[in-house]
Amino acid sequence: MKTLAGKTALVTGASRGIGRAAALALAQAGAQVIVHYGHRGHDAEVVVAQITAAGSRARAIQADLAESDAPHRLARQVRRIVGERLDILVANAGIAKAATLEETGVEDFDELFAINVRAPYFLIQQLLPIMCRGSNVALLSSLAARAAVGELSAYAATKGAIDILVRHFAADLGPRGIRVNAVAPGVVQTDMSTFTRSEKGRDMTLSLQAFKQLAEPEDIAAAITFLASDQARWTTGTTIRVDGGSKL
Ligand SMILES: NC(=O)c1ccc[n+]([C@@H]2O[C@H](COP(=O)([O-])OP(=O)(O)OC[C@H]3O[C@@H](n4cnc5c(N)ncnc54)[C@H](OP(=O)(O)O)[C@@H]3O)[C@@H](O)[C@H]2O)c1
């Protein structure tokens, strides 16, 4: 059923991984999707081609979210495409860097916060003028914000910040009828989690989870599509764990 027919959506970091799966799922539900990418234009065009081949509308747009004015430029491009109404924003683009406290450098720390926190913050700010009653935002948190897994303290801090922003933005925007939530995956098989491709990494991941299989990007996209839909109309200000029962 085309539950998102007539809706417009922007998915950041939709060239691969969870963002790609979310863009395809939203399009399958009927939304027109803007496929944002950072560096992999070809991959983004493949996603656009898949969506258009399936009968929905899509466009790819580029912005390097490490740059401080990128959210502002991205928002202007989005407005040129969708006009005065954006229904769904999935602020998914992100990076991870595994490092101990001793190994973490200032540049890496700043880059993590620039892409994972500053970019979604200002993207939401810049897109607010075209978000209306019924519009909604989904951000990407992580299991790492709730539990000490891996050597990920700086990355985890960016995701903790996302959990905080969800509550504040939901409170601020609720009176305008705009919902704001996050999903918190555990380990998902993407380029960000290449360690799952080794036997040791796979075993370690499965030891964290109640479900003894690895998560696919589509498992997370299903929750994102739910949050984007009217089925989630009474859900705001929360981070939903979508982690196969990790670290229970
Ligand atoms: N995979 C996991 O296990 C996991 C677990 C918990 C949370 N998450 C979160 O889920 C989100 C997606 O992760 P993923 O696993 O799908 O990652 P991924 O496969 O590495 O893909 C990352 C996406 O973000 C984009 N991106 C990265 N740096 C960018 C930049 N500087 N400017 C613009 N775009 C940029 C990439 O675009 P280009 O390729 O075009 O540069 C790509 O589309 C992230 O926020 C991540 O923290 C992932």
Q: How far is CA 75 from the centre of its chain?
A: 16
Is 106 a member of any domain?
A: yes
Q: Which is catalytic among the residues 141, 153, 212, 229?
A: 141
d(CA 100, CA 115): 20
DSSP state of 144: G
Number of domains the chain is built from: 1
* Residue 62, beta-bridge partner list: 37
Q: What angle do CA 28, 91, 27 make, to 5 degrees?
A: 10
pLDDT of residue 1: 75
**With contact defined as beta carbons under 8 Å apart, do 173 and 195 qualify?**
no
Q: Is the CB of 196 under 6 A from ligand 1?
A: no
Closest CA to 93 of 31, 53, 170, 35: 35
Closest CA to 93 of 107, 74, 108: 74
Is 247 a member of any domain?
A: no
Q: Is the CB of 65 under 6 A from ligand 1?
A: yes
Is 2 a member of any domain?
A: no
Active site residue 142: yes
Other CB atoms within 10 Å distance of the CB of residue 191 = 9
Q: Note the maximum CA span of the chain.
A: 51
**With contact defined as beta carbons under 8 Å apart, do 47 and 20 qualify?**
yes
pLDDT of residue 126: 98
pLDDT of residue 136: 98
d(CA 227, CA 221): 10
Task: Supply 218's token pair.
Answer: 């589509």
Task: Going residue by residue through the chain, which has 248 residues, state the pLDDT in tens, using 9 for 90 and above.
Answer: 799 999 999 999 999 999 999 999 999 999 999 999 999 999 999 999 999 999 999 999 999 999 999 999 999 999 999 999 999 999 999 999 999 999 999 999 999 999 999 999 999 999 999 999 999 999 999 999 999 999 999 999 999 999 999 999 999 999 999 999 999 999 999 999 999 999 999 999 999 999 999 999 999 999 999 999 999 999 999 999 999 999 99
Closest CA to 142 of 109, 182, 179, 114: 182
Active site residue 37: no
Q: Is the CB of 225 under 6 A from ligand 1?
A: no
- How far apart, in Å, are the Cα atoms of 28 and each of 20, 31, 53, 118, 230? 12, 7, 11, 30, 16
Residue 144 CA to ligand 1 centre (angstroms): 15
- CATH label of the domain that carries residue 60: 3.40.50.720
Domain limits for position 79: 8-242
Closest CA to 157 of 117, 119, 215, 200: 117
